[in-house]
Amino acid sequence: METDILVIGAGPAGSTAAKHAALAGVSVIVMDKKSEIGAPKRCAEGVSKEGVEKLGIKPSERWIAKEATGVRMVSPNGTAVNLTEDKVKLPEAGYILERKIFDKYMAMDAGRAGAKIMVKTLATGMRREDDQVVVTAESMGQELEIKTKIVIAADGPESRVGRWAGLKTALKPKIMESCAQFEMAGVQMAEPDCIEFHFGSVAPGGYAWIFPKGDDIANVGLGVLTTITDKSAYEHLLKFVENNPATKNAQPVELNIGGDPVGGLLKKKVTDNVLVTGDAAGMVNPLTGGGIISGMMGGRIAAQIAAQAVSDGDYSQKNLKIYEKLCEEELGESFKKYLKAKDYLLSLSDEELDTIAEAFQDSDFETINTAEMVRKLVKISPKALLKLGKLF
Amino acid sequence: MIVKEWCMYCGECAGVCPRNLIEVRETRLNFNEEECKDCKICIQVCPVQALEKRDD
Ligand SMILES: Cc1cc2nc3c(=O)[nH]c(=O)nc-3n(C[C@H](O)[C@H](O)[C@H](O)COP(=O)(O)OP(=O)(O)OC[C@H]3O[C@@H](n4cnc5c(N)ncnc54)[C@H](O)[C@@H]3O)c2cc1C
Ligand code: SF4
Ligand code: SF4
């Protein structure tokens, strides 16, 4: 088999890459080891409306479970700070998706644009041949070889494909959130239209979340850094569900687990014939762990650069390198700020988080400005402010 | 490596293996045991503690 571009992984990043490469007029194959694209889900399913719009995707009620118009931040003692969607720009605030349907829809769009889709097809290795690449794969008991000019590695947090090409996509445990989540029914949320974040020792190195999907249905999960806790993410989740007033009487209908790379953009994302995108390239907001929209942005850029390289007849690292600059501009700059914010958040003790939440719970975020926020912080917790100062 | 029955093939272990030794299939994990340096990072990150080092 031969193609211009082979995309490995049909998650949001891979399908977006496949669609845009096909639209650019080159031949595209996209493969995924899953028998059903999008399942099982490994996600809390929150995306921003702005992100969906920026990608030029028409929102569809088929894949939107619910609109979430606000954000509720909860400190360890249960103090909540409520923000409206327009006051806080987070990649998860806006729509709660039905990812099993969304991912399939994105793949269908790629297919309609002209990409050939191969399901239940696992890439098993890669070798260079002349100025091209041969990817070995297995599909329903058959061994395949696909010769391609360019590989777009969109294989998610496993990120094995980039490593076959010599890129350092392996993740250290200190930047990989270990996540566990139940989709639950019978959840009694204080603000059913808000996505909810819980900070502090409830999820060491990360946070817990409750994202509403319907009247009493929600994704209830958390991410932890296993470098700072002896318990598994699943054990932390059981404790969170048991102790939280909203979930203690709820019942799970699904268990989801997975890794979320939160260390920021991978520095080197290209080599000869290969571009890495999505989670595999660290295209995840380091503060929130949200990577759907950013991965799709990355996938779109990868497609444009790869398609251009095919028409240039030059698949060298040198010709693909511009991808790194464009990703840095689109995602990298903001990720650096989010990384600092995350470091700050994780440096706070439960007591400090409670004090801050108590001071800000009645704030009018319509009118409060940064100077006022800092003044408040000086008053309530000079130590917390000092930690903030050290980071910026 | 012993893979417990409750492994959910999420691939987090594969993402952190510094030697890229874990192949995650839809319902199976394959370890390249010969190259394994026994660093146990894969065991550490598993969200459901589904891995255990085999006693040789
Ligand atoms: C618990 C949890 C909650 C999250 N919540 C949110 C959220 O609310 N909002 C948000 O924006 N992000 C969230 N994320 C992150 C989000 O899920 C990812 O950023 C997003 O899925 C990345 O898309 P991707 O296409 O890069 O990778 P993936 O979606 O992981 O897709 C990669 C695909 O590659 C396939 N694949 C891998 N290896 C091979 C191979 N060798 N051969 C063939 N196919 C292969 C896989 O089967 C998979 O389908 C969450 C993550 C977790 C773990
Ligand atoms: S991290 Fe755990 S559950 Fe996930 S694939 Fe590895 S062993 Fe299985
Ligand atoms: S023990 Fe270390 S080297 Fe061996 S498979 Fe696990 S992560 Fe890889």
Surface of B (31-50) touching A: CB under 8 A:
41, 44-49
At A69, the pLDDT band (50, 70, 90 cuts) reads confident
Test the B interface: residue of A122, A226, A237, A260 with most B CBs within 10 Å: A226
Mean pLDDT within A30-49: 97
Pick the CATH number of A2-45+100-171+263-341 from 3.30.70.580, 3.40.190.10, 3.40.50.300, 3.50.50.60: 3.50.50.60
* B48·A234 Cβ contact <8 A: yes
Q: Output the CA B24–ligand 3 centroid distance in Å.
A: 14
Taking CB atoms within 8 Å and a gap of at least 24, the contacts of A252-255 are A252/A182, A252/A183, A252/A184, A253/A182, A253/A183, A253/A184, A253/A185, A254/A41, A254/A182, A254/A183, A255/A180, A255/A181, A255/A182, A255/B8
- Determine phi and psi for A227, rounding to 5 degrees: -80, -15
Instruction: Inform me whether the pLDDT recorded for A367 exceeds 60.
Output: no
pLDDT of A376: 66
Question: How distant is the Cα of A197 from the closest Cα of chain B, in angstroms?
Answer: 20
> Which residues make Cβ contacts (< 8 Å) with residue A256, sequence separation at least 6?
A40, A41, A42, A43, A179, A180, A181, A182, A183, A219, A221
Q: Does domain B2-52 match CATH 3.30.70.20?
A: yes
Nearest-Cα residue of chain A relative to residue B10: A258
Instruction: Inform me whether the pLDDT recorded for A154 exceeds 90.
Output: yes
> Which residues make Cβ contacts (< 8 Å) with residue A26, sequence separation at least 6?
A4, A5, A306, A307, A310, A311
User: Considering chain A, what percentage of its residues have pLDDT values greater than 70?
Assistant: 90
What is the value of ipTM here, to two decimals?
0.97
At A83, the pLDDT band (50, 70, 90 cuts) reads confident
Question: How distant is the Cα of B9 from the closest Cα of chain A, in angstroms?
Answer: 9
Q: Return residue ranges of chain A for CATH 3.30.9.10.
A: 67-95+173-261
Q: A-chain residues within 8 Å CB-CB of B8?
A: 40, 255, 257
Tell me what the pLDDT averaged over chain A comes to.
Answer: 93
Nearest Cβ partner for B12 among A157, A160, A163: A157
Tell me what the pLDDT averaged over chain B comes to.
Answer: 96
- Taking the CA of A261 as reference, the closest ligand is 1
**Pairing relationship of beta strands B22-24 and A176-185 according to DSSP bridges:** unpaired
Q: Output the CA B30–ligand 3 centroid distance in Å.
A: 12
Domain-by-domain residue ranges, chain B? 2-52
pLDDT of A93: 72
Instruction: Inform me whether the pLDDT recorded for A365 exceeds 70.
Output: no
Instruction: Inform me whether the pLDDT recorded for A87 exceeds 90.
Output: no
Query: What architecture is domain A67-95+173-261?
Result: 2-Layer Sandwich (3.30)
Using one digit for the tens of pLDDT, what is the confidence trace for B5-29?
Answer: 999 999 999 999 999 999 999 999 9
User: For residue B29, which atom of ligand 2 is closest to its CA?
Assistant: 5
H helix runs in A232-285, sequence order? 233-243
Name the pTM for this structure.
0.95
